A and B are shown apart, each in its own frame.
Chain A
Amino acid sequence: MTSSIFMHPAVLFIFGAMLLPLFKKFNAQKIWLVVVPLLAFIQIRYLPDSFGCVEWLGFKLQFGRVDQLTYVFLHVFTLMALIGSIFGLHVKESGQHASAWLYVAGSLGTTLAGDYLVVFIFWELMAFASVFLVWYRKRKRSVDAGYRYLLVHTFGGLVLLGGIFLRYQHTGDLTFNPLSPDSATWAEYLIMIGFMLNAAVPPIHAWLPDAYPEATVTGAVFMCAFTTKTAVYVLARGFAGFEALAILGAIMTLYGVGYAVIENDARRILAYHIVSQVGYMVCGVGIGTEMAINGACAHAYAHILYKALLFMGVGSVLEMTGRSKLSELGGLYKYMPFTMIFTVIGGIAISGFPLTSGFISKSMIIAGAGADHRLVIMAMLSLAAVGTFLSVGIKLPYFVFFGPKDSGLQPKEAHWNMQLGMFMGAFMCIFLGVYPEFLYNMLPYAAAAAEYHPYTSYHLAETFHLLGFTALGFYIMVKYLKPHDVSNLDVDWFYRRGAGWFMWTARNPVSASNEWISNVYKNVGMRFTMAVARAFSWFDWEGIDWALDGSARGVVKGGEQVRQFQTGKLQHYIGAAVAALFIVLIVVVFI
């Protein structure tokens, strides 16, 4: 059974990452970059329900557990790995691809894990592999942001581990199965907080808009897909029906989109918007009905594709112009028309236009909330949909590609592989919108999904209204929305300023008092210690040695006499050694 661990798709990515430098040496890196994710994408179809069960230190670990809920995430994760790798083909550094793949491996490993220990192992692999995607940008800001990202995720990992330990202490059971809100204790809530940190639930979300905009162009495309959606998977697996998630998810949708309205950096807008979109999924998981869970999974699937598409679009602009701030862009449609079309497709898909993937996935969660008679949550989600179209559907493409002013930039169109990656993303956005059954058949509750029909005349009318009149709002307020070169405070202020204060305290009061104490010790403590030592030494010498026949004095005297022979000069020693050898020879030969 242990050997079956090698059929794990994460193993494929880990070996693929290890062999990358070899393929680069033989100029075949590009082929390898397509082959491995493609193999994984095919491989997940042939996984057995359970595999890779290992006994280790008395624990039963399960590396592979496949059911409908796992499969839909595996499907989109491997597809995204393929699209992301194609988008990054032009990047020559093997290290960047390797860290992206190890990150994918962590995500797949978490998704397939059957118990909490395996979840934790791959959870940490994800954090430690993905931070390199930030560091590879190699700017000081990125290095700093990477360290903050790592510290926050290490903290989240420890909370998760604490929860796992407590749960093991209480129940003696580590299998990763659905939990009931009624029997949840501190242990379960600690695990949930660990998961929520990765899902970027406010107020523990600030690592996301801090780190993602500082990542490399391809790194951000991977990062936007895996960390938060893996967290959605583990929440859906373990914590479906927890009321706190429904409320926090609805708050998330508005919190993220509010920042997306006011931010200036295109990738920061998209990063904040992840918070908003993941809010829909967290909310769906929290509502916990079959329809809502289906909606959360469908939305995760659709979201990964169009958010990655948007990150690819603005990433291409950043790659070709070196800029990502809306205030420095504008009028690019003339030079990057294909990038513009793909980005706009991403924008309309995320806004939920009919015939795009957002229309068939987001509505499922809102309908789930409506069917469960949660009107406030439903209104919040609908308002977030308005903000989505406003910030990412219109504002972002408008100020990047059209805009009131022309930036004067004349970049070339993005590389062919970037366009191919974007095309694949855009194709999937429209394909899912036209043929939703493709996605619905993969959902965990396929029977409930088959009963849901997104293309009803009322749903169309509602969507037309929401989108059309949001656009009217934008049209009225466009002057007021003009971007400025600023960024906005968020709760990361507490630890970024807090760390500054901590360092100041460490440098000034703590350091000064440390010095004072060491001075006191030097002047008072040291003298006292020396005096005591002298007293003991005197007693030892005069008292004890006298009492014992003075042998110590004798040894010291003898040693002093022997010392006289030692001149410390090397030639004397060599001379003495040669003389001794000579004498020995004489004795041996003549006597």
Chain B
Amino acid sequence: MIVQFLTYLRERPTMLKWLFMAILAFCVVFDFFADRHHAHFWGDHLIGFWAVFALVGCLAMIVFCKGLSHVWLERDTDHYDK
């Protein structure tokens, strides 16, 4: 049953995409109503601060780590056996 449901979803990528966007929109809207009494620093007062932090951080991390891997760290899996 789970398998059929997941296959059903996988065959409808556009629907999934809109669902995902709707969740993101909900996240942003939710932030307007959050109680900010226990803010630790200035960023906690900005609406959507952590959204930007996450997106920029995620993209930067992928580009940096993957880039470092490509230009320097990447080896065959049997590198040390040679």
Residues of A participating in the B interface, judged by any CB pair closer than 8 Å: 141, 257-259, 261-262, 264-265, 333-334, 337, 341, 367, 370-371, 373, 375, 378-379, 382-383, 386-387, 390, 402, 456-458, 460-462, 464-477, 480-481, 484-490, 496-497
Residues of A within 8 A of B44 (CB): 458, 462
Q: Known: A370-B40, A488-B74. Contact between A262 and B54, CB under 8 A?
A: no
Is there a chain A Cβ closer than 8 Å to B14's Cβ?
Answer: no
Q: Which residues of B contact A334 (CB under 8 A)?
A: 3, 7
Given contacts A334-B3, A488-B69, contact A472 B80 (CB under 8 A): no
Q: Report how far A461 CA is from B33 CA in the complex, Å.
A: 9
What is the size category of the interface that chain B forms with chain A? 35 or more
A488 and B75 form a contact (CB under 8 A) = yes
How far does the alpha carbon of A467 sit from the alpha carbon of B27 in the complex, in Å? 10
The 10 listed contacts between A and B (C-beta, < 8 Å) are A264-B77, A337-B2, A457-B35, A465-B49, A468-B27, A472-B24, A481-B66, A484-B74, A487-B75, A489-B72
CB distance from B39 to the nearest CB of A (A): 8
Closest to A477 in B: B62
CA distance A257 to B61 in the complex (A): 9
Residues of B within 8 Å of A477, CB to CB, are 58-59, 62
New A-B contacts (5) at CB < 8 Å, excluding given A261-B62, A262-B73, A458-B34: A390-B58, A461-B34, A462-B34, A469-B52, A476-B59
User: Contacts A262-B65, A461-B34: A371 and B50 contacting too (C-beta < 8 A)?
Assistant: no
Instruction: Assess whether B41 is interfacial by the CB under 8 Å rule.
Output: yes
Whether A472 touches B75, Cβ cut-off 8 Å, given contacts A261-B61, A370-B41, is no
CB neighbours of B66 from chain A (8 A): 261-262, 480-481
Let me know if B58 and A487 touch, CB within 8 A: no
Interface membership of B8, Cβ < 8 A: no
Q: Map CB proximity to A onto B12-39 as digits: 1 under 8 Å, 0 otherwise.
A: 0000000010011011101101111111
- Residue interface bits B62-82, CB-to-A below 8 A is 1, else 0: 101110110011111101110
| Pairwise interchain contact B53-A382, C-beta atoms closer than 8 A | yes
Check B51 against A469 for contact (C-beta < 8 Å): yes
A132 to B79 Cα, complex, angstroms: 25
Contacts of B3 in A (CB 8 A): 333-334, 337
Q: Which of B30, B37, B54 has most chain A Cβ within 10 Å?
A: B54
Q: Are B2 and A466 in contact (CB under 8 A)?
A: no
Q: Which B positions have Cβ atoms within 8 angstroms of A?
A: 2-3, 6-7, 10, 20, 23-24, 26-28, 30-31, 33-41, 44, 48-55, 57-59, 61-62, 64-66, 68-69, 72-77, 79-81
Residues in B whose Cβ lies below 8 Å from that of A337:
2-3
Check B41 against A375 for contact (C-beta < 8 Å).
yes
Is A465's CB under 8 angstroms from B58's CB? no
Would A474 and B58 count as touching, CB distance under 8 A? yes
A258 to B60, CA, bound (A): 11
Check A470–B80 contact: CB distance below 8 A: no
Collect the chain A residues with CB atoms within 8 Å of residue B75's CB.
486-489
Kindly list chain B residues whose C-beta atoms are within 8 Å of the C-beta of A481.
Answer: 62, 66
Contact B35 A458 (CB under 8 A): yes
Identify the closest chain A residue to B44 (Cβ): A458
Q: Give the distance in Å from the alpha carbon of A36 to the alpha carbon of B74 in the complex.
A: 45
The chain A residue with its CB closest to the CB of B48 is A465
Contact pick for B74, options A367, A378, A475, A486, CB 8 Å: A486
Residues of B within 8 A of A258 (CB): 61, 64-65, 68
Q: How far is the CA of A456 from the CA of B34 in the complex (A)?
A: 8
B41 contacts which chain A residues (CB < 8 A)? Answer: 370, 375, 378
B65 with A261: CB separation less than 8 A: yes
How far apart sit A350 and B37, CA to CA, in the bound complex (Å)? 27
Given A383-B61, A402-B10, A481-B66, A486 contacting B34 (CB threshold 8 A)? no
The 3 A-B pairs of least Cβ separation, nearest first, read A473-B58, A370-B40, A465-B50
> Complex: how many Å from CA A451 to CA B79?
52
Which residues of the partner chain B approach A480 to less than 8 Å between Cβ atoms? 62, 66
For B77, the chain A residues whose CB sits under 8 A away are 264-265, 485-487
Q: Which residues of A contact B50 (CB under 8 A)?
A: 382, 461-462, 465-466, 469
A341 touches B2 (CB 8 A): yes
Q: Which chain B positions have C-beta within 8 A of A262?
A: 65-66, 68-69, 73-74
Q: Is the CB of A471 within 8 A of B2?
A: no
Q: Considering the complex, give the chain B residue whose CB is closest to the CB of A370.
A: B40
Which A residues touch B20, using CB under 8 A? 471-472, 475
B40:A378 contact, CB within 8 angstroms: yes
- For B72, the chain A residues whose CB sits under 8 A away are 489
B53 touches A466 (CB 8 A): yes
Cα distance A258–B74 when bound, in Å? 13
- A461 touches which one: B27, B54, B68, B76 (CB < 8 A)? B27
B54 pairs with A457, CB closer than 8 A: no
Complex partner residue of A458 from B36, B55, B64, B81, CB under 8 angstroms: B36
Distance in Å from the Cβ of A439 to the closest Cβ of chain B? 21
